[in-house]
Chain A
Amino acid sequence: MYVYDQYDHQIIRDRVAQFRGQTDRYLTGELSEDEFLPLRLQNGLYVQRLAPMLRVNVPYGMLNSTQLRKLAHIARHYDKGYCHISTRQNIQFNWPELAEVPNILAELAEVEMHATQSSGNCIRNTTSDQFAGIAPDEHIDPRPYCEIIRQWSTLHPEFAFLPRKFKIAVTGASDDRAAVQVHDIGLQMVSNDAGETGFRVLVGGGLGRTPVIGSLIKDFLPQEHLLSYLDAILRVYNLNGRRDNKYKARIKILVRAMGAETFAAKVEDEWQHLKEGYTQLTTEEIDRAKSFFTEPSYQSIDDNQADADLSSLRGEHKAFDKWLNRNVRTHRKAGYAAVTLSLKPTGVAPGDITDRQLEEIAKLADQYSFGEARTTHEQNIVLGDVRKEDLFQVWQAAKDAGFATPNIGTLTDMICCPGGDFCSLANAKSIPIAEAIQRRFDDMDYLYDLGDIDLNISGCMNACGHHHIGHIGILGVDKKGSEFYQVQLGGSAGSDASLGKVLGPSFGQEEMADVIAKLLNVFVENRQGDEQFIDTYRRVGLAPFKERAYAKVN
């Protein structure tokens, strides 16, 4: 994992001091509400329905056990004993006191964390694959480049007041787990024929009111030009993006209006002025970044023996077997596995985690996974490097701590924004919908039989719950002051990214579990062999689902 040096510490300390001053000026009335707004947002502070919400960056999802313990302390000391993993791998506190936020930021700085640009019209936290560095299908570890981007984007003087927020995601694997096609900039790491490392650059993807799949604007960007090319994209956007209407201000609208080719040409032109400058990455800098993401000291383990041992445990413990099937993934190192701790047990808001659970994860990370953990955009936590022989103990500990629900990838492992219970933007609540669905579908065997289904819920069209790219997407809407839910089908976040189609008129809250049941029945009836939901949908189309969902009851 990246480790701060004196420069990183200095920059973040200066940032905390600056925000402390700004908060003081706001509290004494020297700074107006309007002026304080972008300043607090750029330090992660929203004002929500009931209290401020502080969003802390987890750069590309990596956390160490010291940071986990600090987050637990903050949850306990400054909040109500829990926090929330967001759909962009960040941590959100829902109840901090505004006046205490500078103190929280100072505490975070001690453990090399910050909330800089976790909100506001600026470059946000860069996200990545939660299995970076350990996935068997990865060609290049994206994390060193994510860290290079983190540093470049942090307090970038030219791009702090963009037309709108700006999100970058990077992946280095065949299977896209970072949803790069629905980001303002999506970077796919590739090697060219000469064996050189570079990026395929996608631009103008995004969710929100106008969901768009990103356009490819560069086939191969050599790695040393990463930052100058990003500078060029951002400059073209900063100067040309719309500022008259916040719903048309994202880069996707600009790319669409100009046409991807024209946009690409404009970026290319700007880049020609920048590419040979000092921002060109040096081999030393790339090597320095890589040096923080080397393999941990893995043991040499006989994989067959490890699997054989697991196999006999599977036979003795059916629940352990289920957990292995759903929550444990293949690792590229023999004898190791990646464990996903489920933050989706029934009855808990998806992605919520308590101070004690954070400490438990810190302990498990120290004991079994080289002291590191990862947040995922599906709002779970991963222990990346667990020896197969330790899995049984990890499972038992995870069970005791409440995050061994064996539902990863299933219907009940849903993505869900905080919704109307917390968020002032929301049109409708989303947590009660998630809970109703979890309660209705509590038969694990049925869930396993259904296979992988992404169900994503957003409480409004800002789409924090990524409803457009759920196989089943649910969107909360406001109809004459009442909360209703629109259903979309056929979205996908992966390498085969697609945007869902609206099923039809929206449903009331109490109908939702029934509607989902009908949709699943249509899937089961039409399914061929072991087909996944998304494949059946793509084969049979929307019509049979629509017909069933709106059929009149006799």
Chain B
Amino acid sequence: MPKLIKDGAIVSNEWQWLTNNDEDQATAVPEGKVIVPLAVWLDQKGSLSQRDDVGVWLENDQLPSELGDDVATLPLIAVNFPGFMDGRGFSIGRLLRDRYGFKGELRAYGNIIRDQLTFLSRCGFNAFDCREAFDLEASLASLSDFSESYQAAVDKPMPLFRRRA
């Protein structure tokens, strides 16, 4: 089973992905833990929201407002990073956590590099599902590249100026 980093440890990925296909938002969603594209979720919300093993993935031009109140009940939301230079997902993470109060697994997937893990984690991501080339063991260390930070963020709601001794 493929591995990923979650909550600072290397774990098996228990979720399967439903292939993104905008043409077919009525596609059948299989049993078991599954992550579906936003369009599928919106189309089949009536039935899917009865389950507790359906997560949603957002492309990085899809804002949390499209999920609205659904955010509160979803067990997992994934945000796609099509290229590691495209930083929209960082803001999406913060909106999900700070504004929509998302408490479940927030997963970054796609083209991220390990040097981004520390910022991603500050923006609320707790799971990182990366390309195959990713050395997970080595990447764990990058999560703690910084022992202190100036700004308020999801991991530390108090900015340094309110904590400075």
Interface residues of A, Cβ cutoff 8 Å to B: 5, 7, 10-11, 14-15, 17-18, 22, 31, 35, 38-39, 121, 148, 151-152, 154-162, 227, 235, 238-239, 243, 273, 277-279, 281-282, 284-285, 288
Q: Find out whether the CB atom of A5 lies under 8 angstroms from the CB atom of B157.
A: no
Which listed residue, A5, A14, A279, A285, touches B151 by the CB 8 Å rule? Answer: A279
Which listed residue, A11, A39, A238, touches B91 by the CB 8 Å rule? Answer: A238
A152 and B88 alpha carbons, distance in the complex (Å)? 19
- Chain B 115-142: CB-based contact to A (< 8 A → 1; otherwise 0): 1101110110000000000000000000
Supposing A35-B113, A243-B86, A273-B99 touch, asked if A160 and B150 sit within 8 A by C-beta, the answer is: no
Does any Cβ of A come within 8 Å of B11's Cβ? no
Q: Find out whether the CB atom of B145 lies under 8 angstroms from the CB atom of A151.
A: no
Q: Find out whether the CB atom of A161 lies under 8 angstroms from the CB atom of B84.
A: yes
A403 and B147 alpha carbons, distance in the complex (Å)? 43
Which listed residue, B87, B118, B120, B150, touches A162 by the CB 8 Å rule? Answer: B87
Q: Find out whether the CB atom of A158 lies under 8 angstroms from the CB atom of B153.
A: yes
Q: What is the distance, in angstroms, from A70's C-beta to the closest C-beta of chain B?
A: 23
A159 and B159 alpha carbons, distance in the complex (Å)? 16
A160 and B119 alpha carbons, distance in the complex (Å)? 8
Q: Find out whether the CB atom of B113 lies under 8 angstroms from the CB atom of A158.
A: no
Supposing A35-B84, A285-B161 touch, asked if A157 and B153 sit within 8 A by C-beta, the answer is: yes
A200 and B148 alpha carbons, distance in the complex (Å)? 32
A227 and B113 alpha carbons, distance in the complex (Å)? 28
Q: Report B-chain residues with C-beta under 8 Å of the C-beta of A151.
A: 150, 160-161
Q: What is the distance, in angstroms, from A168's C-beta to the closest C-beta of chain B?
A: 15
Interface residues of B, Cβ cutoff 8 Å to A: 63, 84-88, 90-92, 94, 99, 113, 115-116, 118-120, 122-123, 145-153, 157-162, 164
A273 and B145 alpha carbons, distance in the complex (Å)? 30
Q: What is the distance, in angstroms, from A8's C-beta to the closest C-beta of chain B?
A: 9
Q: Find out whether the CB atom of A157 lies under 8 angstroms from the CB atom of B99.
A: no
Which listed residue, B85, B122, B147, touches A161 by the CB 8 Å rule? Answer: B85
Q: Find out whether the CB atom of B85 lies under 8 angstroms from the CB atom of A279.
A: no
Supposing A5-B164, A278-B157, A279-B159 touch, asked if A159 and B150 sit within 8 A by C-beta, the answer is: no
Q: Report B-chain residues with C-beta under 8 Å of the C-beta of A162.
A: 87
Q: Find out whether the CB atom of A10 lies under 8 angstroms from the CB atom of B147.
A: yes
Which residue of chain B has its CB nearest to the CB of A18?
B145
Q: Find out whether the CB atom of A121 lies under 8 angstroms from the CB atom of B85.
A: yes
Which listed residue, A155, A160, A284, touches B149 by the CB 8 Å rule? Answer: A155
Q: Report A-chain residues with C-beta under 8 Å of the C-beta of B120.
A: 157
Which residue of chain B has its CB nearest to the CB of A10?
B148
Q: Is the interface of B mostly helix, strand, loop or mixed?
A: loop
Q: What is the distance, in angstroms, from B136's C-beta to the closest C-beta of chain A?
A: 14
Which residue of chain B has its CB nearest to the CB of A9?
B148
A493 and B119 alpha carbons, distance in the complex (Å)? 36
Q: Report A-chain residues with C-beta under 8 Å of the C-beta of B94.
A: 158, 235
Q: What is the distance, in angstroms, from B2's C-beta to the closest C-beta of chain A?
A: 21
Which residue of chain B has its CB nearest to the CB of A154?
B150
Q: Report A-chain residues with C-beta under 8 Å of the C-beta of B151.
A: 152, 155-157, 279
Q: Report A-chain residues with C-beta under 8 Å of the C-beta of B91.
A: 158, 235, 238-239
Q: What is the distance, in angstroms, from B98's C-beta to the closest C-beta of chain A?
A: 8
Q: Find out whether the CB atom of A159 lies under 8 angstroms from the CB atom of B87.
A: yes
Q: Report B-chain residues with C-beta under 8 Å of the C-beta of A155.
A: 119, 146, 149-151
Q: Find out whether the CB atom of A157 lies under 8 angstroms from the CB atom of B119.
A: yes
**Further contacts, 20 of them, CB under 8 A, given A151-B150, A151-B160, A160-B119:** A10-B148, A22-B115, A35-B113, A35-B115, A148-B161, A152-B151, A152-B159, A154-B150, A157-B90, A158-B90, A158-B119, A158-B123, A159-B90, A161-B90, A239-B88, A239-B91, A277-B157, A278-B159, A279-B151, A285-B162
Which listed residue, B88, B115, B157, touches A18 by the CB 8 Å rule? Answer: B115
Q: Report A-chain residues with C-beta under 8 Å of the C-beta of B118.
A: 157
Supposing A238-B88, A279-B151, A279-B159 touch, asked if A11 and B123 sit within 8 A by C-beta, the answer is: no
Q: Report B-chain residues with C-beta under 8 Å of the C-beta of A227.
A: 159
Pairs A-B, 8 closest by C-beta atoms: A161-B87, A157-B122, A157-B119, A285-B161, A151-B150, A18-B145, A158-B90, A14-B146
Which residue of chain A has its CB nearest to the CB of B141?
A21
A155 and B85 alpha carbons, distance in the complex (Å)? 16
Which residue of chain B has its CB nearest to the CB of A161?
B87
Q: Determine which residue in A15, A121, A160, A277 has the highest number of CB atoms from chain B within 10 A of its CB, and name it.
A: A160
Q: Find out whether the CB atom of A278 lies under 8 angstroms from the CB atom of B158.
A: yes
Q: Determine which residue in B85, B87, B118, B162 has the highest number of CB atoms from chain A within 10 A of its CB, and name it.
A: B87
Q: Report A-chain residues with C-beta under 8 Å of the C-beta of B90.
A: 157-161, 238
Q: Determine which residue in A17, A227, A235, A278 has the highest number of CB atoms from chain B within 10 A of its CB, and name it.
A: A278
Which listed residue, B115, B157, B161, touches A281 by the CB 8 Å rule? Answer: B161
Q: What is the distance, in angstroms, from B102's C-beta to the closest C-beta of chain A?
A: 15
A526 and B160 alpha carbons, distance in the complex (Å)? 58
A15 and B86 alpha carbons, distance in the complex (Å)? 22
Q: Report B-chain residues with C-beta under 8 Å of the C-beta of A159.
A: 87, 90
What are 25 A-B interface contacts by the 8 Å CB criterion?
A: A10-B148, A11-B148, A11-B149, A14-B145, A14-B146, A14-B148, A31-B113, A38-B84, A38-B85, A39-B115, A152-B150, A155-B149, A157-B119, A160-B116, A161-B85, A238-B90, A239-B63, A243-B88, A277-B152, A278-B152, A278-B157, A282-B162, A285-B161, A285-B162, A288-B161
Which listed residue, B85, B157, B164, touches A7 by the CB 8 Å rule? Answer: B164
Which residue of chain B has its CB nearest to the CB of A158?
B90
A14 and B119 alpha carbons, distance in the complex (Å)? 14
Q: What is the distance, in angstroms, from A401's C-beta to the closest C-beta of chain B?
A: 38
A499 and B161 alpha carbons, distance in the complex (Å)? 40
A157 and B118 alpha carbons, distance in the complex (Å)? 8
Which residue of chain B has its CB nearest to the CB of A13?
B147
Q: Report B-chain residues with C-beta under 8 Å of the C-beta of A288.
A: 161, 164
Q: Report A-chain residues with C-beta under 8 Å of the C-beta of B153.
A: 157-158
Q: Determine which residue in B120, B151, B160, B164 has the highest number of CB atoms from chain A within 10 A of its CB, and name it.
A: B151
Which residue of chain B has its CB nearest to the CB of A281?
B161
Which listed residue, B92, B146, B152, touches A279 by the CB 8 Å rule? Answer: B152
A148 and B161 alpha carbons, distance in the complex (Å)? 9
Q: What is the distance, in angstroms, from B47's C-beta to the closest C-beta of chain A?
A: 31
Q: Report B-chain residues with C-beta under 8 Å of the C-beta of A278.
A: 152, 157-159, 162
Q: Find out whether the CB atom of B146 lies under 8 angstroms from the CB atom of A282.
A: no
Which listed residue, A11, A18, A22, A39, touches B150 by the CB 8 Å rule? Answer: A11
Q: Report B-chain residues with C-beta under 8 Å of the C-beta of A14.
A: 145-148
A288 and B164 alpha carbons, distance in the complex (Å)? 11
Q: What is the distance, in angstroms, from A251's C-beta to the closest C-beta of chain B?
A: 14
A495 and B63 alpha carbons, distance in the complex (Å)? 39
